Amino acid sequence: MNLNWNYIYESLPLYGEAMWLTVKLAFWAILFSLIVGLVASILQHYQVKGVQTVITAYIELSRNTPLLVQLFFLYYGLPKIGIYMSEMSCAIVGLTFLGGSYMAEAFRSGIEAVPRGQIESGLSIGLSRLQLARHVVMPQAFAISIPSLGANAIFLLKETSVVGAISLMDLTNLTRDLIGMFYRTEESLLLLVAAYLVLILPLSFLLSWLERKVRYAEFGD
C-alpha cells in the first residue's frame, strides 16, 4: 500500500477538528446519560407510583430503535410540529436518549446486586429510606456497575459515528467527504481508524484502572 504522506499531513487539522467535535458530543452524551440512567433506575427500583411504567416504556423504546431513526425523528420530524433544534443539540439529545436506557439498566443491576441483608440491617438501626440509599445502596451499586457503565460510555463514544446523518462533520462524515473529493481511500480510512483509537484507548485504560481501584477498595486485594 503506497500511502500519500503529504495528504495525510495536510488532512490532520481537519481530523483534529472532527475529533474535538466527537469529544464534545461524547462528553455531554455520557454525562447526561449517567444522570438520566441514575434517576430512571432509582425511580424504577423503588417503584414510584405512576412512573415505573413510563420508565419501562422509555427503556424498551430506546433500546429497540436504531439511533439513526431517533436522530431522523429529532432532526426532521420535530420541526413538523414546530420544535427546532440545532444539529449539535439533536445529536446530544439522541445519544442521551439511547445511552440513558443502557445506563439505567446498568445502575438497576447494580442496585439489585446489593445484599438484601445490608438493607434490612440499615432499616433495623433506624436509617431512613433516603439515608439507606445514600450511604448503603448507591455507593455499592455504583461500584458494582462500573464495568457496565464503562462499556456503555465506550459504546456511546463509538455511536457518535452516526451523527453525520444530520450534517455534523464528525470523523466518519469527514472521511466520507474526503474520499469523495480526493479518492484517497486508504489514507482517509487510516486516519479514521487512528483517530478513534486515540479517543477510545485512553478512555478504555482509564475505565480499566477505575474498575481495578473499585475492586481493590471492595475486596482489598
HEC profile of the chain: CCCCHHHHHHHHHHHHHHHHHHHHHHHHHHHHHHHHHHHHHHHHHCCCCCCHHHHHHHHHHHHCCCHHHHHHHHHHHHHHHCCCCCHHHHHHHHHHHHHHHHHHHHHHHHHHHCCHHHHHHHHHCCCCHHHHHHHHHHHHHHHHHHHHHHHHHHHHHHHHHHHHHHCCCCHHHHHHHHHHHHCCHHHHHHHHHHHHHHHHHHHHHHHHHHHHHHHHHHHCC
Q: Looking at the predicted structure, is the pLDDT value of residue 221 above 60?
A: no
**Residues contacting 23, CB < 8 A, separation 6+:** 199
Confidence bin at 121 (pLDDT 50/70/90): confident
To which residue does cell 495528504 refer?
Answer: 7
Measure the CA–CA gap between 37 and 43, rounded to whole angstroms.
10
Confidence bin at 1 (pLDDT 50/70/90): low
Confidence bin at 216 (pLDDT 50/70/90): low
**Domain total of the chain:** 1
Q: What is the pTM of this model?
A: 0.87
Confidence bin at 219 (pLDDT 50/70/90): very low
> What are the grid coordinates assigned to 189, written together?
480510512
Between 77 and 143, name the one with better pLDDT: 77
Q: What domain range includes position 144?
A: 5-219
> What are the grid coordinates assigned to 92, written together?
446530544
Q: Provide the percentage of residues in the chain whose pLDDT is more than 70.
A: 96
CATH number at residue 17: 1.10.3720.10
Q: At what angle do helices 5-45 and 52-63 cross, to 10 degrees?
A: 160
Contact 195, 123 (CB under 8 A): no
Which of 39-48, 51-60, 159-168, 195-204 is predicted with the least confidence, judged by mean pLDDT? 39-48
Tens-digit pLDDT profile for residues 46-87: 777 778 888 989 999 999 999 999 999 999 999 999 998 999
- Whole-number pLDDT of residue 14: 94
Which of 47-61, 115-129, 202-216 is predicted with the least confidence, judged by mean pLDDT? 115-129
Measure the CA–CA gap between 212 and 218, rounded to whole angstroms.
10
- Whole-number pLDDT of residue 218: 56
Measure the CA–CA gap between 217 and 221, rounded to whole angstroms.
8
